Structure 1
Amino acid sequence: MSDTTQRPFSILFVDDEEMSRNHFARAIRADYCVHVAQSADEAIAVLSQYGAEIAVLVTDYRMPGRDGDDLLRQVAQEYPQIVRILVTAYADKDMLLKTVNTGDVFRILEKPLRTEKVREVLQLAIARYAERETRQQRLLAMDETLAFLAHELNTPLATISLFARSVESDVAEQYDPERQREIGDAARSMLNNAQFCLTLISSFWETVHKSGGRQSALEASGREVRATQLIATLLDTYPFAGSQRDWIRIDAQGDFVVRAMPNCVALVLSSLLSNALRALGDTSAPSLCLEIVESPEPEIRIRDNGPGIAPEIKARLLLDPVTTYAGAGGHGMGMIFCNRIMQSFGGCLRVDSALGEGTTVTMGFPASKSRMNPSDG
């Protein structure tokens, strides 16, 4: 029933007519491994055995028993990575619309099949499959990164929370009122920061983990999330210490829609803000500017007037676990995580800094479709 020759991509062709199956297999087996089935149920049996290697499903619509529409819907549910193509000899508009809507059909081919047209469509379908696989691998890499981050930080942050509660409750009998207030404020700050980090890590890891390569809830809802909104939300929720919030100003030279994984972009923003605030800790007149730039390319820049970064550290910052805060518990992994997240959706992270002149970290985002193709209507 199946051509067992192993090639990079496999095609499953489903048609109840033996002549059609043989013709299809002969036409494309020089380029792809071909599996064939004569019914929807037989196709599911083939998928249960070879589903991991099949990139494209091509199915006839009219078949005895379950038709192609039913098969497409099941495959869309159980094997969403497979690109689905419908073959039909019937010009039933309502049927075609229903199938496209419920089965997420990539293309529709009309009978009789022409070899050149089939090859052309299969090339496009394989390109779509490869694109999905790349995105899935990026999401899996990000999932692993965030899961690692959550695992590594969850226990020490929970310990800090317990310690802060203990300090806050034990100071009353040991210090004068002023000292009690200072220690109590410090303990509450520790607790708030630890709880904020725990919540942030849990939320973002869960978002990526549950997506499983599918669209996030924000993307699926169709609700646009703009750069200015992400920054405003971050500043509203970030656990600033002392007068830190007063150090920050926003310079919106434009605005743009964050189209890819806004939750993860918010995580990067939070991490970069934390780094900048820490760098400004010993600066006499700390200043931190969050710039939003729309043109020529969409960017968010985090610009501080802190001590800057030594050239030998800056050169390795996005590649190796280096840090200027080892004495304060820094391990240098944060920038690597941020860079990996930005790269996962085609963005980038850039660091410009010199000792004594501050640091600017730029989050670069992929240009919108309209900007990349200005002639498109």
Structure 2
Amino acid sequence: MSDITQPPFSILFVDDEEMSRNHFARAIRADYCVHVAQSANEAIGVLREHGAEIAVLVTDYRMPGRDGDDLLRQVAHEYPQIVRILVTAYADKDMLLQTVNTGDVFRILEKPLRTEKVREVLQLAIARYSERETRQQRLLAMDETLAFLAHELNTPLATISLFARSVENDVVEQYDPARQKEIGHAATSMLNNAQYCLTLISSFWETVHKSGGQQSASEAGSREVKATRLIATLLDTYPFVGSQRDWIRVEVQGDFVVRAMPNCVALVLSSLLSNALRALDGTTEPALCLEIVDSPEPEIRMRDNGPGIAPEVKARLLLDPVTTYAGAGGHGMGMIFCNRIMQSFGGCLRIESELGTGTTVTMGFPGAKGRMLAAGQ
């Protein structure tokens, strides 16, 4: 099997006997990339260099110097994501119990090693490693979601407070018609920001509620949700103002399952919809198209005919805190958080825009061809 088609997992095998190392490597190198070490210290050196790619550690117990138990405990502390397997030729019950309790051993293999048994255990170990990685990605996504909510709600609420104080001060003073117009704009901005906060809260609650209160977090995170369903929920719960809902049409060129935490994806959709509606405010014939496609890769696109984004701003939107709505309280962090949430489960955001023509924001999801990459990577 070539390197191109090998699974993205490596195995580290530790044994002081050269024959054992050679036998192990020959037995599984067709299925995995194999690193070998003849001592605990050499194994730590390998981990320092290749720890990010190593999924499973298989170590002999009896070795000169530091034994396998000592190595397992260090790896459990420094590389907790690695699944650990102990190899022993000794039926010392007390030793085995101590090692299992202190080193968090996944399995124990007895010498002499049998190839079929080794392959079977490694398949189980890789499955355990993948579960841990998936769980970690979900935690990262949730962290991004909480940070996103904290920022996106705090900024509009702070703006509402600022404008409310301004209106409060102005109503007791004499002001001319121009000032009355400014107050009207302030009131509109207050309404829009309050609407955005309500949208985020409503969308988040709706997706969590519909995931089912009886489900565990892992079940809710892994359930299958179609892209069309997420869009329908968004349009049902978004508090549109005036004729905004009439601006929107949905085109489905192919539905697909969103294999990610739907709460996070719903928040990204809500934020992008809010940005698009804000961009369309004041457009003569506002139009926003939500496109769902499943080929060549699954995507959700939001295409508007608003004023577009200046090239120098578009180039930085996903990287730096820039905004075209500073006067309305925007700080430019929303797109950064949206991009991070998408990247946390292997997706991406792409932005295409021309001044005077409009903007298209594409949410790319991992599909049959693997992880999506953001533009420019």
AA at the equivalent of 2:294: E
Identity among equivalent pairs (%): 54
How far did residue 252 of structure 1 move? 0.6
Is the 2:145–2:341 Cα contact (8 Å) retained in structure 1?
no
Matching residue of 2:375: none
Matching residue of 1:325: 325
Is the 2:299–2:362 Cα contact (8 Å) retained in structure 1?
yes
How far did residue 274 of structure 1 move? 0.5
The 3 A distance-change label for structure 1 pair 126 and 250 is closer
The 3 A distance-change label for structure 1 pair 355 and 325 is same
How far did residue 165 of structure 1 move? 11
Write out aligned runs for 1:102-117 (5 A).
112-113=112-113
AA at the equivalent of 2:83: V
Matching residue of 2:19: none
SS in 2 for 1:319: coil
The 3 A distance-change label for structure 1 pair 269 and 151 is closer
SS in 1 for 2:275: helix
Write out aligned runs for 1:133-148 (5 A).
136=136, 138-139=137-138, 141-148=140-147
Is the 2:61–2:67 Cα contact (8 Å) retained in structure 1?
no
Q: 2:69 aligns with which of 36, 40, 63?
A: 36
Is the 1:247–1:286 Cα contact (8 Å) retained in structure 2?
yes
Compare 142-151 and 244-253 and name the one that shifted more. 142-151
The 3 A distance-change label for structure 1 pair 206 and 65 is farther
The 3 A distance-change label for structure 1 pair 334 and 186 is closer
Q: 1:53 aligns with which of 67, 73, 79?
A: 79
The two structures, once aligned, show a CA RMSD in angstroms of 5.1
Matching residue of 2:250: 250
Is the 1:310–1:354 Cα contact (8 Å) retained in structure 2?
yes
AA at the equivalent of 2:280: L
The 3 A distance-change label for structure 1 pair 269 and 195 is closer
SS in 2 for 1:300: strand
Matching residue of 1:199: 201
How far did residue 152 of structure 1 move? 3.7
Write out aligned runs for 1:24-173 (5 A).
25=63, 35-36=68-69, 50-54=76-80, 55-58=82-85, 64=93, 85-87=106-108, 112-113=112-113, 129=129, 132=132, 136=136, 138-139=137-138, 141-155=140-154
TM-score (norm 1): 0.61
The 3 A distance-change label for structure 1 pair 34 and 196 is farther
Is the 1:250–1:290 Cα contact (8 Å) retained in structure 2?
yes
AA at the equivalent of 2:68: H
Alpha-carbon displacement from aligned partner over 1:138-171 (angstroms, at most 9, x marks no partner):
55554444333344455565567889999xxxxx
Matching residue of 2:315: 315
Number of equivalent positions: 304
Is the 2:265–2:342 Cα contact (8 Å) retained in structure 1?
yes
Runs of 4+ that moved beyond 6 A = 10-14, 60-63, 65-68, 119-124, 159-166, 185-188, 204-207
Structure 1 CA distance for aligned equivalents of residues 162 and 192 of structure 2: 9
Is the 1:160–1:190 Cα contact (8 Å) retained in structure 2?
no
**Alignment gaps of 5+ in structure 1:** 15-19, 38-42, 88-108, 167-181, 208-213, 373-377
The 3 A distance-change label for structure 1 pair 227 and 200 is same
Structure 2 CA distance for aligned equivalents of residues 324 and 155 of structure 1: 18
Compare 342-351 and 226-235 and name the one that shifted more. 342-351
Structure 2 CA distance for aligned equivalents of residues 189 and 339 of structure 1: 27
SS in 1 for 2:225: coil
The 3 A distance-change label for structure 1 pair 194 and 34 is farther
Matching residue of 1:362: 362
TM-score (norm 2): 0.61
Is the 1:164–1:191 Cα contact (8 Å) retained in structure 2?
no
Structure 2 CA distance for aligned equivalents of residues 47 and 366 of structure 1: 36
